[in-house]
Chains A and B, each alone.
Chain A
Amino acid sequence: MRVAGQRAITAWSWISSLLLTGSVVTVVGFVLIKSLPVLHWRLIFGRTPPLEALWRWAPVTGGLWPAIGGTFFLVITAVGLALPFGLGAGIYLADCADGRLKRGLTLLFDVLAGVPSIVVGLFGFSLTIFLHRYLSARIYPSLLISALALAFLVLPYLIRGTQEALENLPNALRLIAPALGATRMQNIFRVLVPKALDGIAGGVLLSIGRCAEDTAVIMLTGAVASAGLPKSLLGSFEALPFYIYYISSQYRDPQELQQGYGAALILLLVCAVLLATSLILKNLLARRVRGW
């Protein structure tokens, strides 16, 4: 291979990297610069004094507080619903299933991970209509339905996170407890899971991030433009990503648009912090395992 060709490849790799970095810096920088003028507590609490909103749950109008609260409760509910199944399935894959069974199950989880979120949203919506008609007239598109649909969406992330954390543990560790007479389950729950806890937590944080950013599912299953803080699981709710989508197409004046930028910045920060923490936790586990 000639020197010119080699140079071209090196140049191409540099240009690609600069292009990518440049694009990301542009996207994030654009949001940051545009939202600087509104970075003030009024962005979140509107005209309500922050302490009133925090201590007495005073209603907030013209601020992001209801959307932030909605996203918070949504994420808690969704991950809460998915967690037992995600952890259980992850442990099962790592330590109980073998061979063809394991391959079959991971295939299904990969398929589930690939299902577009809008399809999950449509599923949630149709399920609601179905239940509303045939089970109880009190079931509407609501926070609970959105959380349920989101739980489907993040299940594969939880499973994969748990499975990987457990499988990355050194094999020797897997053998010690059984050699001393521990049963399989004792080994899993007393030895392996505690040792892999930071990796598992990393997977959980990752799925929280996925829940917080997803828009397609919630726009079909109960997110609305205006609802105030969520008061029950069966009510409609506001959410940050939906707010950003809504404002992008129907802001009424420049101030509202700027609030949209503010919301985008907050969501960006929340997701970045969650993801970074998740990566750090996974790294911690990997480093510890290497130390053994």
Chain B
Amino acid sequence: MKMKRTCISILLLWFACGAAAAWAGDLDPFRDESGAIKISGGTAHIPVMKAAADLIMQLNPKIQISIAGGGSGVGIKQVGEGLVDIGNSGRKPTDEEIQKYGLVLHQWAIDGVAVVVHPQNPVKALTSEQLKAIYAGTMTNWKALGGPDKAINIYTRDEASGTREVFWEKALAKGEISPKALFVASNGAMKTAVAQDPNAIGYVSVGHIDDSVAAVALDGVAPTLENVKDGKYKIARGLFSNTKGAPQGLTKKFIDFIFSSQGRALIVEQGFIPVK
């Protein structure tokens, strides 16, 4: 994690000095622009969006980029209603949504959804069946799984979350989620909550995993970037930035930047796999 921060600071410093010859071109389109871009939706996307926005706003203070969370459902709905310019989603919008709003999808990364526990928890591997039982609320103690004799605290996300949708479909096979589960509002909040609670189990975007939480191998496959990339880890999804119709003006430049070599470097830095 610290590495990540240091990397970003060094990068920023580099740009401030104007010495980044290799990538300098990718930001050029923003030089003579002004205006605002509103982004909302998927919370897994926020670190990448924020890093890109910081670079652009540092280069040209006349551009204002606002980033809000809310979850994938919100992103799709708000961009469809024209409330924001870019609506992010951590799941592919349904055909119905695409048709209703005339959405154009831009998938810029592949990500996985990993089960996480507190780093001190000795349980580091689960089977799908065990996971389903935990989330359904029928398996309630860590002892049965080789952990301490403590009640399991289940954490989940709200209905608007794309991460929840993917996890529910692919990991739980649309099984029950106990009403006793504690709710958190974003990927970031899930990580923080699990990092603070020794008896927690939760799920986050693979890109958000760091040493404050421990990823759990599911059916023997660890949720690493490599396994997601190879397709071995099944709970994978794309990260989408959606626009209503083809993107125009500043919004187009922002999306183009995400797909540029510098944007791809940002995506890698934040722990995701850029799409070619």
Contacts and interface: CB of A to CB of B under 8 A. Distances in A.
Answer yes or no: A and B touching, Cβ < 8 Å: yes
A225 interface: yes
Contact of A250 (B40, B82, B84, B186): B186
Contacts of A129: 81
B57 A59 contact: yes
Interface string A255-268: 10000000000000
Given A59-B61, A140-B38, A231-B36, A249 B66 contact: no
B199 to A, nearest CB: 19
Contact of B81 (A47, A59, A132): A132
B188 A252 contact: yes
Contact of B5 (A140, A250, A253): A253
A249 B193 contact: yes
A249 B2 contact: no
Interface string A165-176: 000000000000
Given A253-B1, A255-B5, A58 B189 contact: no
A140 B87 CA distance: 14
Nearest to B189: A249
Contacts of B50: 225-226
Contact of B68 (A47, A225, A231, A249): A225
A249 B210 CA distance: 16
A280 B184 CA distance: 42
Interface in A56-109: 57-59, 61
Chain B's interface size range is: 35 or more
A140 B83 contact: yes
Contacts, number: 76
Contact of A58 (B47, B61, B82, B188): B61
A235 B192 contact: no
A224 interface: yes
A11 B12 CA distance: 61
A224 B68 contact: yes
Contacts of A141: 83
B66 A226 contact: yes
B217 interface: no
Nearest to A255: B5
A276 B9 CA distance: 40
B59 to A, nearest CB: 9
Contact of A249 (B12, B82, B83, B185): B185
A137 B85 CA distance: 12
A236 B68 contact: yes
Contacts of A47: 9, 12
A227 interface: yes
B69 interface: yes
Contacts of B227: none
Interface in B166-211: 184-189, 191-193
B61 A57 contact: yes
B67 A227 contact: yes
B88 to A, nearest CB: 13
Contacts of B69: 225
Contacts of A132: 81-83
Contact of B188 (A61, A237, A249): A249
Given A59-B57, A141-B83, A225-B46, A235 B188 contact: no
A235 B65 CA distance: 10
A236 B84 CA distance: 10
Interface in B44-103: 46-47, 50, 53-54, 57-58, 61, 64-69, 81-84
Contact of B67 (A226, A235, A237, A249): A226
A61 B58 contact: yes
Interface string A115-159: 000000000000001001100010011000000000000000000
A129 B77 CA distance: 12
Contacts of A250: 186-189, 191-192
9 contacts: A59-B61, A61-B58, A140-B38, A224-B40, A224-B67, A227-B66, A235-B64, A237-B66, A251-B192
Interface of B: 1-2, 5, 9, 12, 36, 38, 40, 46-47, 50, 53-54, 57-58, 61, 64-69, 81-84, 184-189, 191-193
Given A132-B83, A225-B67, 13 more contacts: A58-B61, A61-B54, A137-B82, A140-B83, A224-B40, A224-B67, A225-B50, A226-B53, A227-B65, A227-B66, A252-B188, A253-B2, A253-B5
Q: Please list the 4 inter-chain residue pairs (A to B) with the smallest Cβ-Cβ separation, ordered nearest first.
A: A250-B188, A227-B66, A236-B66, A249-B189
